[in-house]
Amino acid sequence: MCGIVGIVSNKSVVKPLIDGLKSLEYRGYDSAGVAVINDHQPINIKQVGRVELLDQEVTHNDEAMNAIIGIGHTRWATHGAPTTINAHPHSNSSNTIFVVHNGIIENFKEIKILLENEGYKFISDTDTEVIPHLIDYYLKTEKTFKQAFTRALDDLHGAYAIAALYTKTPDSIYVARLSSPLLIGIGNKENYVASDASAIINHTKQVVYLKDYEMAVLTNKSVKIHNFKRKTEIIPKTEELDFDLEKAKLGNFPNYLLKEIFDSPETVRLASAGRVRSGSNIIKLGGLENVKEQLKYIDRIVIAACGTSYYAGLVGEYLIEEIAGLPVEVQLASEFKYRSEPFSRSTALIAISQSGETADTIAAIKKVENYGVLKLGIVNAIGSTISRITDAGVYCHAGPELSVASTKAFIAQVTVLTEIALSLSNGNSPLFKPLVDELSILPEKIVSILGQSKNIEQLAKKYSKYKDFIFMGRGYAYPCALEGALKLKELTYIHAEGYAAGEMKHGPLAMIDANFPTFVIATDSTMTDKTLSNISEIKARGGPIIALVSEGNKSIKSYTDDVIYVPKTLEQTQPLVVATALHLFAYHMAMALGRNVDRPRNLAKSVTVE
């Protein structure tokens, strides 16, 4: 999704601006641009495609290179095609105001018509372009740029993080947010603004997170914040960024995706550290301490999330119901927010999100705000919006996930959900001790799956010619099948579906023939025999079969074309080993097809719009 970075300094800002944009590349984008002011003269340079191209153009511009104030943007097209004209920054007609924006201005058409009636001319298809023109309009009556900016903000509906420059106040960046992340970095004789900490982490760890309806004016000496709805000054609360640059480095891996899949064993360790201890009958979840008493009265849990986080939630449903005996319902956040369903104060909402910035998941949390529902988060990105708007939560501690496809975050989310299920069981489940013991040895089991990467690569080469795939499983293997299908489709663009194995006869079996392979997850469980029957039904229709089974299952070979063995583990921890194998399979399929595995087409890392 779109990314913002802005810097005001006493030395050239161009290189750090471009570096900031490069560190936002992982979010997915199709064009990029910067606007800087040098000696009251604006320079606005935009490019379709890689930031590298923008870099070349900007660094050859001597005027731009001398600028000590600037804003930059990576755009992921929502309104209008990815073209230079639609790229940000956008400006007013006299080129005195420059704006970059993340989010969506929902009432931009109405504003555009009003401004057109006032004689304003628009050149792009974007919603963003209304902002500089609207500020320009208010500048005709307001005394200062800040006042005109605030008047414009009052008119905007939707979600936004905005950074703006005005050539007549060339020492200030004006920023504001509503439902879209924005943070201010405090430096030494320079200050920064960014939509994502990764863009400024090289310069400072001291940050102020802007809240909804807050705007700020940044110079190289000061940061002044005020709430434009309540019209009050805000005293900036500086926090220290918890972001490990080392962990985000590629090392010897060819891409972030493979690195992050190989991070999986460590991810389980990090998500369990200090929380799970073999031999102890308590799970220590510090983030839930302050709601310990409320949790005693919870009799229903609703989990809301999107994509891979939603599938982790489905695993969580099985875990919490089986281990803690509490009813759980998992909902797609994008559906949940528009549903009219009854809530009671004894319901807890768990929002799951790697980025902590997913617009639909944030909306789901906001929806229950007036019901007295306990709002919990399972979030990876520390300090993100979801971590701040929930009452309590458990961090995943998976470290930065830069590849667009979520892999290690799924592993961390499922580990945390296992811990929450154990914690809610108050040590009363017969599964408590076996699970606690298993979690401590699980990283080694995942390491052994990673050791099969070469075999899985061979398998992927054989299967990459197919155009359709079905993934199926029962029980805990069912959400894994959904995750396996999602990962395959997003990384390879091959059509893939995930199904509960028991549903095959209710429709999907009709698709099976020699050109339609099935990936069956049939790890040891009470339902393995039933899954074997489903495999036979597919075999009888000539469908190629890859089976993922537990080590020691010798009979499976006679039923299937290819087999991936994973170490034996408890049924409840199988998703952690199974998902790692599925992630590797999707990875090698994508590599066999020559895909850009870190940045699949059309996708963005953090989906901050509906």
Judged by the rule CB under 6 A, the positions of this chain that interact with ligand F6R are: 306-309, 353-355, 358, 361, 405-406, 486, 490, 606-607
- To ligand F6R, the closest distance from the beta carbon of 395 in angstroms equals 13
The SS3 of residue 320 is helix
Query: Strand pairing partners for 526?
Result: none
- To ligand F6R, the closest distance from the beta carbon of 247 in angstroms equals 17
Q: Which residue is nearest to ligand F6R (CB)?
A: 307
542: CB partners within 8 A, 6+ apart: 512, 513, 514
Angle (CA) 180-184-186 rounded to 5° is 170
Q: Which of 259, 337, 408, 605 is catalytic?
A: 605
396 is catalytic: no
Q: Judged by CB, which is closer to ligand F6R: 407, or 550?
A: 407
Cα–Cα distance measured from residue 610 to residue 607, given in angstroms and rounded to the nearest whole number: 8
Alpha helices in 76-144 (DSSP H): 108-117, 130-139
Q: Judged by CB, which is closer to ligand F6R: 71, or 402?
A: 402
Q: Judged by CB, which is closer to ligand F6R: 91, or 358?
A: 358
Cα–Cα distance measured from residue 595 to residue 492, given in angstroms and rounded to the nearest whole number: 6
Q: Judged by CB, which is closer to ligand F6R: 183, or 405?
A: 405
Q: Which of 2, 306, 396, 480 is catalytic?
A: 2
Q: Judged by CB, which is closer to ligand F6R: 20, or 484?
A: 484
Q: What six digits make up the tokens of 133? A: 């023109």
Cα–Cα distance measured from residue 1 to residue 320, given in angstroms and rounded to the nearest whole number: 33
Cα–Cα distance measured from residue 560 to residue 359, given in angstroms and rounded to the nearest whole number: 42
- To ligand F6R, the closest distance from the beta carbon of 261 in angstroms equals 12
- To ligand F6R, the closest distance from the beta carbon of 3 in angstroms equals 15
Which single residue is written with the structure tokens 């087409």?
601
Rg for the chain (alpha carbons), in Å? 26
Handedness of CA 446, 447, 451, 457 (dihedral sign): positive
- To ligand F6R, the closest distance from the beta carbon of 486 in angstroms equals 6
- To ligand F6R, the closest distance from the beta carbon of 603 in angstroms equals 8
Q: Judged by CB, which is closer to ligand F6R: 64, or 486?
A: 486
Closest CA to 494 of 504, 483, 486: 486
Q: Judged by CB, which is closer to ligand F6R: 28, or 475?
A: 28
2 is catalytic: yes
Q: Show the beta-strand stretches assigned E in 55-157.
A: 69-75, 90-91, 97-105
- To ligand F6R, the closest distance from the beta carbon of 404 in angstroms equals 6
What DSSP letter does each residue of 393-447 carry, written as one string?
A: EEE-------SSS-SHHHHHHHHHHHHHHHHHTTT-STTHHHHHHHHHHHHHHHH
- What amino acid positions are annotated as catalytic residues? 2, 605
